[in-house]
């Protein structure tokens, strides 16, 4: 039988490696986990973390909360409550105050991305880009483990009024039929791969008969956090057979894997999971943010992309940490990120140069930092939309003044004396309408 054990702050004392974690570090985990979600499992703790190198080990930092994720004053406040064994309601109340100040739903997810149909707000569906619609199955509202950098941390934090979830696939089908411009459906969460195969079929099979839908995407971290989902779980063979059915129906099936470090795809079971998925005709693409303390060096990215190409995974995106949650702990300045990207990119063959980045998923769209340039004596960032709310912006270059410290689009100033970026007025009108 598969051994699967989940650990949270409440049962951390049952972790076999518990005795190797300094008491101070255990208190840090409990304190930060009162604000940000924490969940890890036995596969991660037994296969991915180097327990002789904590807290510096990147996989430990990716899965176990760190003190610096909280503002020092907030950490001190929560730490005192935890040490004093304050009532759980008081701890939750204080945590909520901190959470609601962390920009819990960035980039207009709640205000601009949620569509309507027949005057009904379609909660659990997002339609930001013309061709693509996201769907959040209600049964996929957790992950096998939580990444500390996750920009969707409100999904797992009890902030139900900020959660995206829907269990009505008919609603999605009806919406798509009203919007024939939609070609791609993206299932996300949480993680759709926490669902059993019957639920996966419930949500995807109705889409196979819609001619306008060309691509089904499944966003998942399961290849890293629980690759047994594709190899040894009771319904793993059934899941892979359904992947074959999707491909045979004429749809392109893309597994959007979130791989943050080469360690995640070095275990034998992860390699076997990748092989089995690819054997169905599905394509695996990899995307991840560049995050300080975890993968903020070119060697890590080069090694990871090379390994992905070797295994048949297509490098897809290097993202920048979104402006939410513990961004201050994980963020990388744009100048540093583009240097890391370019250094790793130059060492790839053409097969690995499918990757795009560093990219910001911000309110107007996905903005890639193309490079740092000097134009007419002015040092600037060259930026480009790879996807945008207004399709006319897509692939359009624009320029911002160079900055050593800027880490997000909102930190940038238009170059060449312009008062605003070309898209700002239209974005203001969109927010006004909302």
Tell me whether strands 125-129 and 6-7 are parallel, antiparallel or unpaired.
Answer: unpaired
180 assigned to some structural domain: yes
Residue-wise pLDDT for 328-349, tens only, equals 999 999 999 999 999 999 999 9
Q: Examine the domain organization and report whether 138 and 197 are in the same domain.
A: yes
- Sequence-ordered list of residues with C-beta below 8 angstroms from that of 399, at least 6 positions apart, any chain: 373, 375, 380, 381, 382, 383, 414, 415, 416
Q: Examine the domain organization and report whether 65 and 112 are in the same domain.
A: no
Q: Which of 75, 99, 123 is the last residue of a domain?
A: 99
- Sequence-ordered list of residues with C-beta below 8 angstroms from that of 69, at least 6 positions apart, any chain: 32, 36, 148, 325, 326, 329
pLDDT bracket for residue 325 (50, 70, 90): confident
- The pLDDT of residue 119: 82
Query: In 3-state terms, what secondary structure has residue 318?
Result: strand
Q: Which of 99, 116, 151 is the last residue of a domain?
A: 99
Q: Examine the domain organization and report whether 124 and 143 are in the same domain.
A: yes
| DSSP structural state of residue 392 | G
Least confident of 39-43, 156-160, 424-428: 156-160
116 versus 337: the higher-pLDDT residue is: 337
| Residue 283 near residue 310 (C-beta atoms within 8 A) | no
127 assigned to some structural domain: yes
- The pLDDT of residue 333: 97
pLDDT of 257 higher than 60: yes
Query: In 3-state terms, what secondary structure has residue 18?
Result: helix
Q: Considering the chain, what percentage of its residues have pLDDT values greater than 70? A: 96
Q: Examine the domain organization and report whether 108 and 237 are in the same domain.
A: yes
How far is residue 381's CA from residue 364's CA, in Å, rounded to a whole number?
A: 17
Q: Considering the chain, what percentage of its residues have pLDDT values greater than 90? A: 85
| Residue 123 near residue 114 (C-beta atoms within 8 A) | yes
Q: Which of 224, 248, 281 is the last residue of a domain?
A: 281
pLDDT of 382 higher than 70: yes
Q: Examine the domain organization and report whether 109 and 208 are in the same domain.
A: yes
Phi, psi angles (nearest 5°) of residue 74: -65, -40
Query: In 3-state terms, what secondary structure has residue 306?
Result: helix
Least confident of 90-104, 108-122, 396-410: 108-122
- The pLDDT of residue 418: 94
Phi, psi angles (nearest 5°) of residue 270: -65, -40
| Residue 128 near residue 113 (C-beta atoms within 8 A) | yes
Helices 23-33 + 72-83 axis angle, to 10: 110
| Residue 236 near residue 246 (C-beta atoms within 8 A) | no
Residue-wise pLDDT for 259-297, tens only, equals 999 999 999 999 999 999 999 999 999 999 999 999 999
Rg of the chain in Å (alpha carbons): 22
Residue 262 tokens read as 């080469």
306 assigned to some structural domain: no
Q: Examine the domain organization and report whether 88 and 36 are in the same domain.
A: yes
- Degrees (nearest 5) of the Cα angle 93, 63, 344? 130
Whole-prediction pTM = 0.94
Q: Examine the domain organization and report whether 142 and 85 are in the same domain.
A: no
Residue 358 tokens read as 């560093």
What's the domain range around 204?
104-281
62 assigned to some structural domain: yes
- Domain CATH number, residue 222: 3.20.20.70
169 assigned to some structural domain: yes
How far is residue 56's CA from residue 49's CA, in Å, rounded to a whole number?
A: 10
Mean pLDDT of 191-204: 97
Q: Examine the domain organization and report whether 109 and 249 are in the same domain.
A: yes
Q: Examine the domain organization and report whether 94 and 108 are in the same domain.
A: no
- The pLDDT of residue 374: 95
pLDDT of 86 higher than 70: yes
- The pLDDT of residue 152: 79
pLDDT of 318 higher than 70: yes
Q: Examine the domain organization and report whether 89 and 124 are in the same domain.
A: no
Mean pLDDT of 180-199: 96
The mean of the pLDDT values for the chain is 93
pLDDT of 106 higher than 90: no
Alpha helices (runs of H) in 249-315, residue ranges in sequence order? 268-279, 298-311
Q: Examine the domain organization and report whether 191 and 240 are in the same domain.
A: yes
Residue-wise pLDDT for 122-169, tens only, equals 888 999 999 999 999 999 999 999 999 998 777 776 665 556 777 899
Residue-wise pLDDT for 207-219, tens only, equals 999 999 999 999 9
SS3 content of the chain, % helix, strand, coil (to 5): 40, 20, 40
**DSSP notation for 191-214:** -GGGS-HHHHHHHHGGGTT-TT--
Helix (H) or strand (E) holding 7: strand 6-7
| Residue 404 near residue 335 (C-beta atoms within 8 A) | yes
- The pLDDT of residue 159: 63
Number of domains in the chain: 2
| Residue 1 near residue 10 (C-beta atoms within 8 A) | no
Q: Where are the beta strands (DSSP E) in 17-131?
A: 40-41, 116-117, 120-121, 125-129
- The pLDDT of residue 230: 98
Mean pLDDT of 94-116: 79
- The pLDDT of residue 412: 97
Beta pairing partners, 137: 166
Q: Examine the domain organization and report whether 137 and 263 are in the same domain.
A: yes
């Amino acid at each position: 039988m598969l051994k699967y054990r989940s650990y949270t702050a409440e049962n951390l004392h049952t972790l076999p490696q518990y005795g190797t974690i300094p008491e101070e570090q255990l208190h840090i985990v409990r304190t930060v986990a009162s604000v940000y979600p924490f969940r890890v499992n036995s596969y991660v703790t037994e296969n991915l973390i180097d327990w002789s190198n904590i807290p510096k080990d990147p996989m430990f930092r990716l899965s176990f909360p760190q003190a610096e994720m909280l503002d020092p004053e907030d950490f001190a406040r929560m730490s005192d409550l935890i040490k004093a064994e304050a009532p759980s309601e008081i701890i939750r109340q204080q945590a909520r105050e901190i959470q609601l100040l962390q920009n819990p739903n960035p980039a207009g997810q709640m205000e601009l991305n949620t569509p309507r149909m027949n005057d009904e707000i379609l909660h659990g569906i997002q339609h930001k880009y013309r061709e693509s619609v996201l769907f959040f199955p209600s049964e996929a509202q957790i992950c096998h483990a939580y990444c500390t950098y996750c920009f969707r941390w409100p999904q797992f934090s009890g902030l139900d009024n900020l959660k995206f979830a829907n269990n009505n696939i008919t609603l999605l089908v009806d919406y798509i039929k009203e919007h024939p411009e939609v070609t791609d459906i993206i299932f996300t969460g949480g993680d759709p791969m926490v669902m059993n195969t019957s639920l996966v079929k419930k949500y995807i099979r109705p889409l196979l008969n819609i001619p306008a839908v060309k691509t089904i995407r499944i966003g998942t971290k399961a290849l890293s956090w629980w690759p047994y989902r594709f190899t040894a779980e009771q319904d793993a063979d059934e899941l892979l057979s359904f992947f074959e059915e999707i491909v045979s129906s004429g749809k392109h099936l893309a597994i959007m894997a979130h791989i943050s470090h080469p360690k995640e795809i070095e275990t034998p079971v992860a390699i076997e999971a990748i092989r089995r998925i690819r054997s169905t005709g599905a394509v695996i693409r990899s995307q991840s943010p560049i995050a300080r303390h975890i993968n903020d060096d070119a060697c890590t990215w080069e090694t990871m992309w090379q390994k992905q190409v070797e295994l048949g995974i297509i490098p897809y995106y290097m993202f920048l940490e979104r402006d939410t949650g513990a961004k201050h702990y994980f963020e990388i300045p744009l100048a540093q990120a583009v240097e890391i990207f370019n250094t790793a990119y130059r060492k790839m063959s053409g097969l690995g140069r499918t990757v795009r980045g560093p990219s910001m998923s911000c309110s107007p769209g996905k903005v890639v930092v193309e490079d740092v340039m000097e134009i007419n004596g002015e040092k600037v960032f060259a930026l480009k939309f790879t996807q945008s709310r207004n399709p006319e912006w897509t692939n359009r270059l624009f320029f911002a003044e160079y900055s050593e410290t800027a880490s997000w689009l909102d930190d940038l100033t238009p170059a060449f004396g312009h008062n605003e970026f070309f898209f700002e007025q239209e974005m203001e009108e969109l927010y006004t309408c909302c």
